[in-house]
Structure 1
Amino acid sequence: MKLTKPRLSFWQIFNMNVGFLGIQYSFGLQQTAINPIFLYLGAPEDMLPILNIAGPVTGLVVQPIIGAMSDKTWSPRWGRRKPYFLIGAIIGSICLFAFPTSPVLWFAVGLLWILDVGNNMAMEPYRAFVGDKLPEKQLSLGYQMQSLFVGAGILLAMGSIVLFQKIFGAEAVSDDGVIPTWMFYSFSLGGILSISTVLWSVLKTPEIPPSEEELSEINEAKSKPFMERVWQPFNEIGLAIKEMPKFMWKISAVYLFQWYALFVYWQYITPLFMKTMDYGISDAASQSAQMSLTYNIVTMVVALALVPLTLKFGGKKVYAFSLIGTAVALFSIPFIENMTLVLAPMVLFGIGWAAMMGIPYTMVSKAVPQDRRGVYMGILNMMIVIPMGIETLTFGPIYKYLLGGNAINAILFAGVFFIIAALLAFRLNEPKSEINE
């Protein structure tokens, strides 16, 4: 049955995406504050990749399963996707409040696992939620609005770090196991935002009821024996991979290099400043937070501006050139020793981040059937976390033995991978929609 979706106003699309602010605040802390906490608790630099393996593993397992489950869920009161990202936000909020109280390294690592489960549980249904609500002509605006909130959430996280360091002092910590005061306030703010912003979107945005055909499939799934229902998400994932559009196989190659490089950047930007500017951990973490502040301000500014550009030139070209700009930024950073000038390359990085967080989702949403959008968005996330998992397992030895334990070489290595990702992005063929609107 052909489904006609109503065109939504700008503010309806805005309200729908507000929850991404809290989710991305949490991810912002993971990018910049988690690794310094590990360092404060005594972790050696070459162990940082393996200590971050929680993100790839939980993303690989949680997102596609939750996506498949949400495809087969419907509640007249709570909807299809909203129950999942609301529960995920609650889990994430609890973990954020607990993180700066970590007494030892293993406790912080364990919390990261639980936090990632919550964030991934919230993230995947949210991607599908936006695609469910919007007609095809508004998909680009919807996903670039998510990109705007990605920038805003991470921007707020980084801003909180800078602000609370100024208020409470970015004190040097000489003893392992001591986490500075400013960390408590940044993480507590995240705990509040994680739940409050998602609640805003849940209460402000009703979901579109499933068609009679979809409802029949959902009820049929509910009537199956318990063990069959347990295995159903795994069967859905396997079938979806088997029938996956060719476009998604191509974008997986882009993602392999793009996300490997991003994980290297997030892990080694703080050690980079400890080397190039002779900073301690607190000062280096503060500088990396300012870098994130800068590129996420740019992301907020340009996210919606990319919508007309993608309509005029095509998503593929805008995406590929944005990746090249990101590579140029990473090639520049290690050779700039001025604290202010080092922020300049983040303009290019911010444009790239805005493109990465919006354009691929728009293209994929057009390529997959609506009644399986949840599982395919989960599979798209698998294409993110598999490279991250590969990075956590491989980059420690690469960093130690091939790159000489030098954070400068690590950032340059990431730049090369962005160039490869851009070249592969030029090979993408933008999909024709297979979605009934």
Structure 2
Amino acid sequence: MSFGFLGIQFGFALQGGFMSRIFQTLGADKDTIPFLWIAAPLTGLLVQPIVGYLSDRTWHHKFGRRKPFFFFGALFSTIALFLAPYSSALWMAAGALWILDASINISMEPFRALVADKLPDSQRSYGFVVQTLIIGIGTWVASNLPWLMTQLGVPNTAPEGVVPDSVKYAFGIGAVVLFTSILYTILTTEEYPPEDLEAFQKEKEANKGFFNGVKEIFKNITGMPPVMKKLGVVQFFSWFAFFTMWSFATPAITEHVFGATDTTSEAYNNAADSVGNYLGTYGLVSMFYALILAFVASRIRINRRLLHLGSLILGGFGFILIYFISEPWMLHISFSLVGIAWASILSMPYAMLSSSVNPKKMGVYMGIFNMFIVIPQIVASLGGVNFLYKLLFGEAVINTMLLAGTMLILAGLSNLLITDKKAIHD
């Protein structure tokens, strides 16, 4: 039931690792890159609660509850992945990113809800960790695709304003993997009908209509459980940090570590491939860390709060270490620490949340919870990253990694706000 996350992460890894490279190739200034990302989180802020609400109220004897959303999200994500590297102008690339991110999210949050639908509370930590294991595999493979294409002889440079073929091939492969892996989950996973189908249909009819839906979503937002609000603080700092990485890792590392800035040069494009390789490291390490967590969570009770706290702080130190690196291979050490944080971000908050919400509203609450992912990205893209890194650390673009590390350490410490015993323990 989680195999489709392999494809989802192919999409996210290619987006996070190489969209800034595409923006730079098309002539974007470093300080404008975060703004080019803004449409995606803005759409997620609106789309996710709606998708969650609708998936909670969907049931078809053949297509199930969550699977229709998997399919349509996969279809539009696939189209956007194919088109993104063929953009000839910045507005086209930003539009492709907008469609890609929104479509992936249409599939992703129902996947989260599916795990909560099908597993008892005692197995949810294990279930979300297994998803993270699959995500780690997808991150590692997808992040290395442009490098692999280059090794196979695909051109890695192109004229000014044109994305290299190595990136185009990588996005094409990612599109195929995304669609086929989600289709595999759709075809092989059985969903359970509502416990009381007649009551489900009556409630659905009673709340039918657009305005009733908006009213219900707003009611759920204002009445969210206290644990969800506290997790929202943790999520804000966590996703601000990772948005900073996705936006600035390529310009920061290619300039600071490799001394390459000319986007038409072989040096820059090889360095950008290497950045993808290092980003793949955090996916690979998150896979192994998730494997360890899966083994532990299936056998003993774990303290989710302390585990998440420690993992995020380690990731924060990983970002900060990038500033002090003198040899490129040392980036593997930094991103290994980041991978520990990433594995925890993709599992522990959802395990804590799913233990604290009404199972009948799992989809809408997972969608609302996504607001705590997209709001920090909106804040960051509207100037939050540019203002803070220059204010706190200085003008050099590598200082964005110092900001990311600081934010992730704050995210870790914010776990101390969570006191609900049911959320903390399995």
Task: Give distance in 1, aligned partners of 2:153 and 2:42.
Answer: 35
Q: Would the aligned equivalents of 2:320 and 2:401 in 1 still touch at CA under 8 Å?
A: yes
Taking the aligned partners of 2:310 and 2:349, their CA distance within structure 1 comes to 14
Letter in 2 for 1:183: V
Overall identity of the aligned pairs, in %: 37
CA–CA distance in structure 1, aligned partners of residues 114 and 331 of structure 2: 38
Is 2:277 aligned against 1:293?
no
Candidates 137, 144, 153, aligned match of 2:122:
137
User: What CA distance in whole angstroms lies between the structure 1 residues aligned with 2:251 and 2:218?
Assistant: 40
CA contact (8 A) 1:90 1:194 kept: no
Match of 1:331 among 312, 317, 320: 320
- The aligned residue for residue 409 of structure 2 is 419
What's the CA shift for 1:218? 3.2
Per the normalisation by structure 1, the TM-score is 0.90
| Counterpart residue number, 1:344 | 333
The residue aligned with 2:47 is: 62
4+ long deviations beyond 6 Å: none
Query: In the alignment, what sits opposite 2:200?
Result: 217
Task: Tell me, yes or no, if structure 1 residue 229 matches structure 2 residue 209.
Answer: yes
Counterpart residue number, 2:108 = 123
Q: What is the rounded CA distance, in whole Å, between the counterparts of 1:292 and 1:218 in structure 2?
A: 46
Pair 1:223–1:320, CA change in 2 (3 A): closer
Tell me the CA shift for residue 184 of structure 1: 1.4
Aligned to 2:226: 246
Give the aligned partner of residue 279 of structure 1.
260
Tell me, in whole angstroms, the C-alpha distance in 2 between the residues paired with 1:320 and 1:217. 39
TM-score (norm. length: structure 2): 0.92
Q: In structure 2, how many angstroms separate the alpha carbons of the residues matched to 1:404 and 1:352?
A: 26
Residues 204-261 of structure 1 deviation map (CA, whole Å, 9 limit, x = unaligned): 110011021x54233442476xxx5122332221111222110011111111111111
- Matched to 1:305, the amino acid is I
Alpha-carbon distance, 1:429 to partner: 2.0
Which deviates more, 401-410 or 241-250?
401-410
SS at match of 1:17: coil
**Structure 2: where are the runs of 5+ without partners?**
262-267
Of residues 23, 43, 54, the one that matches 2:8 is 23
Alpha-carbon separation, structure 2, partners of 1:97 and 1:324: 36
Matched letter for residue 231 of structure 2: I
Q: How many residues in Structure 1 have an aligned counterpart in Structure 2?
A: 413
Cα separation, 2, equivalents of 1:66 and 1:312: 32
Per-residue Cα deviation, 1:163-200 (whole angstroms, up to 9, x for no partner): 0122235644451x211010111111111111110111
Structure-2 residue corresponding to 1:6 = none
Counterpart of 2:316 in 1: which secondary structure? Answer: helix
Q: Is it true that 1:205 corresponds to 2:189 in the alignment? A: yes
Match for residue 194 of structure 1 among 175, 178, 184? 178
| Alpha-carbon distance in structure 1 between the residues aligned to 2:135 and 2:29 | 30
Q: Secondary structure at the match of 2:107?
A: helix
Q: Distance in 2 between matches of 1:86 and 1:141?
A: 25
1:304 aligns with 2:285: no
| Aligned twin of 2:265 | none
136, 139, 146: which one aligns with 1:161? 146
| Greater CA drift, 273-282 or 189-198 | 273-282
Is residue 133–residue 290 contact of structure 2 (8 Å, CA) maintained in 1?
Answer: yes
More displaced 10-residue stretch of structure 1: 306-315 or 32-41: 306-315
Match of 1:178 in 2: 162
Q: State whether structure 2 residue 59 is matched by structure 1 residue 74.
A: yes
Cα RMSD after superposing both structures: 1.8
Q: How does 1:33-48 map to 2 (within 5 A)?
A: 33-48=18-33
Give the structure 2 partner of residue 149 of structure 1. 134
Q: Which runs of 5+ in 1 are unaligned?
A: 1-15
